[in-house]
Amino acid sequence: MTRSVKLLLAAVLFLVLAGIVVFLIARMRPLAMYAASGRRALLSAGLTKTAVPSPAGPQTVFRGGSGPVLVLLHGAGDQAAAWSIVAPKLLPGRTLVVPDLAGHGDSAPEKGPLAVETLLAGLSAVLDEVAPKERVTIVGNSLGAWLATLWAKDHPERVERIVLVNGGPLKHVAEGLTLQPKDRAEARKAVDALRDPGSIRVPDFVLDDVVRLAATGPIARLAAASDGMERFVLDGRLGEVKVPVEIVWGASDRMMPLSYAERMRAELPRVRLTQLPRCGHVPQQECPAAFAEALGRLLAGPPPEAAQEAVPPAVPVPGVAP
């Protein structure tokens, strides 16, 4: 056997072994693989990754583009990669700021309970660094929507408007569902409630990873600090939010149903509600084309000056991808 043949066979063997390793990692840690792919996509879209100092430790943020500042806040247990599909569509004509919330992704702290104060301190540090004198628009999904509301309430002079996506600052209990599933069956029930029934079914091996992370990841750390969250709940106090509010809601969400959005709309003084049919709790991932189109259309127009009627789900939204 010649030397060149041996080298070729060695290269083939290496590729086969590497493929097996990647396959096993993807099966055992699919959520980490998905997040890594999303973070690479943010970089490929032209964003740069930097670290911002904060009282909680360094906060990771992806930033790029030019123009008005649009801040994208992910939900509990997620990270900046949650926005990777829609970021390229939102980037033209804007500066995108996409942080890992404190205790999520690569942002500190790495261990211990995650209090709302810590999350807000991390967000303030990021915005003080990237937009100290500019009015920003903040889009928040789930937990990110709660934080966006709290930050806008305390810093109205620095906020153009906020966009709440399937989340907010009101008290809510999803009966029979949990974000900390203990087994595959509980995970299946929770994940199915977060998605439209017509969407692709999440594989069992992904549910197993959901269970694993629920026990040790950011959601568990948030739960460990839940005793201090009551004072950040704004039931009956949404009138204190003086900035314009867009509510963009995946209408198929059963974890946080449309009735939650209606409760917020009833209290907020300057609000507009837009529904996304056949979309669930994380529309920027489940139906990114419809979400990006709806968000872009809203941001291109004037903000609501007074409470407005909801856009019913029967209104067609171009580009819906179930």
Domain residue ranges of the chain, discontinuous segments joined by + = 3-300
pLDDT, position 310: 57
Q: At 23, is the pLDDT very low, low, confident or very high (cuts 50, 70, 90)? A: very low
- What's the whole-model pTM score? 0.88
Mean pLDDT of 121-131: 97
Backbone torsion region of residue 272, taken as left when φ is above 0, otherwise alpha when ψ lies between -120 and 50, otherwise beta? beta
Non-local (6+) Cβ contacts of 195 within 8 A are: 202, 252, 280, 281, 286
Can you tell me the distance from the alpha carbon of 291 to that of 279, in angstroms, rounded to the nearest whole number?
9
pLDDT > 90? residue 155: yes
Q: Could you identify the residue written with the tokens 């804007």? A: 94
The answer to whether 31 touches 37, Cβ cutoff 8 Å, is: no
- pLDDT at 16 > cutoff 60: no
Which CATH code for domain 3-300? 3.40.50.1820
* Each residue's pLDDT tens digit, 192-251: 999 999 999 999 999 999 999 999 999 999 999 999 999 999 999 999 999 999 999 999
Measured distance CA(288)–CA(265) in Å, rounded? 24
pLDDT in the model for residue 18: 29
